[in-house]
Chains A and B, each alone.
Chain A
Amino acid sequence: MDHILKERDRLLQRTARIHGLSFTGVALLCLLVPGAVAPATYLPLVPLLAVLVFAQYRVGLSRSYLWIFTEVGSALGIVASIAFFNPDGLSPSALSAIGQLTAASLASVAMVLSTDRVRIGVLVALFVVVTVATTTLTADSRRPLETAGLIFLGWSLASIAGLWISAGVPQAARRIGSIGRAHRAERQASEIEAQRRQSARLLHDTVLATLTLLAHSGVGVAPAALQQQSADDAKLLRQLRLGATPTPLSSGGYNLEPVEETVLGTTLESVKQRFGRMGLEVSWHGTGQVLLPSDVLDAFLLALAECLENVRRHSGVREAHVTIVDDATMVRAMITDAGVGFILDDVDSARLGFKESVVARLKEVGGHARLFSEPGSGTTVVLEVPR
């Protein structure tokens, strides 16, 4: 609320400045009409006008009473000097100028004085002072009632504008506040929905694997197998979209059954089958039966599958070896191929998606990955996850 009240005050100040300065300009035009005032009048008029303009400019920036009082003082000074230097009666131009100054230009202070009770009190006092002073000073040339009426009209228009903006802002602020609350709820809901989709990880893994195959135009995979896998994955995505959390038994090469701990071996077998379909022969060595918490298993399998995918795409050979060993604390997989290999420094590991999909995922579950390669002597990746 504080923020917007401050903004409101600024808006009122800016409006008061524009209002004041533009009508001061009109008054100045009136005074410049030939014969408006006796020439001697301009002597005090010029500095007083300068002060008035400066004060009105400052009102746009500051809430201080100082500039308001300066403004009123200098404007009344102008009126007084016009009255003093033109004792034989005021010309219509001078009367117009006085009217513009007191009823329109000065009225702009009403906008910045309408925000609270104290300021409204000051506003009323200033109004009385300006009205009494102006009617008295111009009494010889214009009926006091007419002058007072004009000033009243100008000041009440400005006051209405000020009061109306002051009152409108808290209203708007309340409605904005309720929008904010709704938005917070929306943000939480969005967060939960995103979590639901993100936690459907196994599903996305198989979808990503299929998309990656498609990204290579499906070359090297039997069309029928790819079509079958696409159909399965599309079905899973449809289920996800319709609000279910799909829990099919398997899709493509994955075991998607939601269990707390899963035996590694059965799942590894399905990964092997999947890569077999795509033309990469995977040979397993070592431990087959390792129990892992499901999130660790997910990360481990994804990383493993990414590595095998890299072998399939880049190594130039059609065979890979995966050795799984485990001890009391760690499960370790070593993925080896006898392919072309590469110079580690030459290839930004991000290019392989290695950092994104392998390192990042393993890190999340407390594991890590190491990459060894040499041109001509194949590649070895070591993946480690805690048990």
Chain B
Amino acid sequence: MTYPPVGENTLGLLAEVRASRSRVGGSRRLVRQENPHRASLGTAFIGVGTSLICALSAIYGFTWFVSYWTVYPNPILALAAWVLLIVVLVAAFVTASVVGDRLPDWMFALLLALIAVVMALDVVAIWDLHDVGQYATASLTAALALLLVITLRRPSDILISIGAVGIALFAVTIANTRLTADNATVQITSIAFTVLPVVIGVMVVRGFRSMVQIELDRVLVQSTVSAPRFAVGMLASEELARLDLAAEELLDSVATGRIALPLRPKTASVAASLATELRLHLIEGRRETWLYHAITESELLGRSVTLTDKGSLAGLLDANQRDGLLAAVWLLVNDHAKKSAVRTVQVSVGPIVATTPVALTHKLKVPVVITTTGVQRNRVDPSTWDAIRRVGRYSDSSQNASLRVEIECFVDNPADL
């Protein structure tokens, strides 16, 4: 027998804890998709744009309504539809600009109900004409009210609503209008005019949001460039404070006798894991470089970049080289039109290569190798090469049909400083 069976986990847990830490890292990244406040950056402005489009479409629809005035068997109902629609549009616009980031459910439901009423009034008004596509005006414009709140609701809400509107229009058309070769197209175009702008609008808003999200992610990660050689990362001090507090509470409970001695196994294991985590944070916490933090903190990079940097040499890169390396990795991961394609990037830093003569520059040569999967060499954005050039002299090749870049990076020798 050498040691008691290791039920102890004060120190022995290190590896497991580390593994679990890197796992939870994923859910603790700084930017979260579901954070509506951050994602709404600039979408208010986009909202005003969609309102403008909605207004123009409404004027267009209203023009048709005026030109049909004499044709309507019952123009009062159609007029009522338009009056209600204008009230709804104005109210929705005002609400959208004061309500903030999100439209409450009941308001959205009210809006949908009002749209339904407008459509019903308009359809009743033109029922006897038996050509919905031709004579419907307010009902076609009504759905565009969804454009006004497009930035304030989840895309799925808007898509489901506009889908319902489209189906309703289609059903009414089928029920009311006898399709002939002459009037079929106008039915198609009318429904398209109602549905497509909203669908496209949803896509725009979604694209805009993800663009803002990615840019935000990049900007936040960018701040690692100015970090010291070893840094603790954004979450470390928070984490340390949390551990300190937990330890304080536990010790306090022991001191005041709230927890009786000897401890129950459960409490003992809490103490053990606290000690382990504290040790990790105190001893190992400063071993990570800016690049490690950049990758782990970023939603985008964390998914597809792996880093091998045994000697923590990335920390030696100066700000310009760091900026270049980060930009290059970022561009390799993100810069492609097909967002669905999977790209991965492996960055490996070091080990230091002995240079001769050593004394001339007082610089260390650190090789940085970027290997990728799914990145075709001729598809790489030219600005990527500019970024890589800022890190050092490079040579590029293809490996398994994907880009591989070797960079000779010269850094100041920390022993000289």
| Chain A interface residues toward B at CB < 8 A | 2-4, 6-8, 10-11, 13-15, 18-19, 22-23, 26, 29-30, 33-36, 60-61, 91-93, 96-97, 99-100, 153, 156-157, 160-161, 164-165, 167-169, 171-173, 175-177, 179-180, 183-184, 186-187, 190-191, 193-195, 197-198, 201, 204, 207-208, 210-212, 214-219, 223, 226-228, 230-231, 233-234, 237-238, 240-241, 313-314, 340-343, 346-347, 350-353, 356-357, 360-361, 375
B183 touches A (CB below 8 Å): yes
Q: Restricting to B358-410, which residues have a CB under 8 Å from any CB of A?
A: 383
CB contact between B278 and one of A6, A204, A227 (< 8 Å): that residue: A204
Residues of B within 8 A of A197 (CB): 237, 240-241, 244
Which chain B residue shows the least CB distance to A178? B219
Residues of B within 8 A of A313 (CB): 4, 8
Residues of A within 8 A of B268 (CB): 214-217
CB contact between B261 and one of A100, A226, A234 (< 8 Å): that residue: A226
Q: Restricting to B154-195, which residues have a CB under 8 Å from any CB of A?
A: 181-186, 188-189, 192
Residues of B within 8 A of A215 (CB): 8-10, 268-269, 271-272, 275
Bound-state Cα–Cα, A71 to B7, Å: 72
Contact stretch, chosen from B68-76, B87-95, B223-231, B311-319: B223-231
Asked whether B252 lies within 8 Å of A14 as measured between CB atoms, the reply is no
Asked whether A3 lies within 8 Å of B192 as measured between CB atoms, the reply is no
Interface string of B259-277 (1 = CB under 8 A from A): 0011111011101101100
Which chain B residue shows the least CB distance to A33? B184
CB contact between B42 and one of A172, A190, A198, A240 (< 8 Å): that residue: A172
Bound-state Cα–Cα, A240 to B224, Å: 27
Residues of A within 8 A of B228 (CB): 191
* 7 residue pairs A–B, Cβ–Cβ below 8 Å: A4-B211, A33-B181, A92-B185, A184-B226, A211-B247, A217-B264, A360-B284
Asked whether A191 lies within 8 Å of B237 as measured between CB atoms, the reply is yes
Nearest CB of chain A from residue B300's CB, rounded to whole Å:
12
Contact (A240, B244) CB under 8 Å given A22-B200, A194-B237, A340-B1: yes
Contact stretch, chosen from B50-58, B106-114, B345-353: B50-58
CB contact between A227 and one of B208, B219, B223, B261 (< 8 Å): that residue: B261
Asked whether B283 lies within 8 Å of A11 as measured between CB atoms, the reply is no
Nearest CB of chain A from residue B349's CB, rounded to whole Å:
21
Nearest CB of chain B from residue A94's CB, rounded to whole Å:
8
Which chain A residue shows the least CB distance to B226? A184
| Chain B interface residues toward A at CB < 8 A | 1-4, 6, 8-12, 14-15, 30, 38, 41-42, 45-46, 48-49, 52-53, 56-57, 60, 181-186, 188-189, 192, 196-197, 199-200, 203-204, 207-208, 211-212, 214-216, 218-220, 222-224, 226-228, 231-232, 234, 236-238, 240-241, 244-245, 247-252, 254-257, 261-265, 267-269, 271-272, 274-275, 278-286, 330, 335, 337, 383
Which chain A residue shows the least CB distance to B30? A183
Asked whether B255 lies within 8 Å of A227 as measured between CB atoms, the reply is yes
Asked whether A100 lies within 8 Å of B192 as measured between CB atoms, the reply is yes
19 further contact pairs, Cβ within 8 A, besides A241-B245, A340-B1: A4-B211, A4-B215, A11-B207, A22-B199, A30-B185, A35-B181, A176-B216, A179-B38, A194-B232, A195-B232, A207-B278, A211-B10, A211-B274, A212-B272, A215-B271, A231-B251, A241-B241, A357-B279, A375-B2
Asked whether B255 lies within 8 Å of A230 as measured between CB atoms, the reply is yes
Contact (A351, B6) CB under 8 Å given A35-B181, A168-B45: yes
Asked whether B2 lies within 8 Å of A161 as measured between CB atoms, the reply is no
Contact (A183, B8) CB under 8 Å given A237-B248, A340-B1, A346-B2: no
Residues of B within 8 A of A352 (CB): 11
Residues of B within 8 A of A241 (CB): 241, 244-245, 248
Residues of B within 8 A of A228 (CB): 255
Residues of A within 8 A of B383 (CB): 2
Residues of A within 8 A of B184 (CB): 33, 93
Nearest CB of chain A from residue B169's CB, rounded to whole Å:
14
The 6 closest A-B pairs by CB, nearest first: A353-B11, A172-B42, A164-B49, A342-B2, A231-B255, A180-B219
CB contact between B211 and one of A11, A34, A91, A179 (< 8 Å): that residue: A11
Which chain B residue shows the least CB distance to A227? B255
Nearest CB of chain A from residue B37's CB, rounded to whole Å:
11
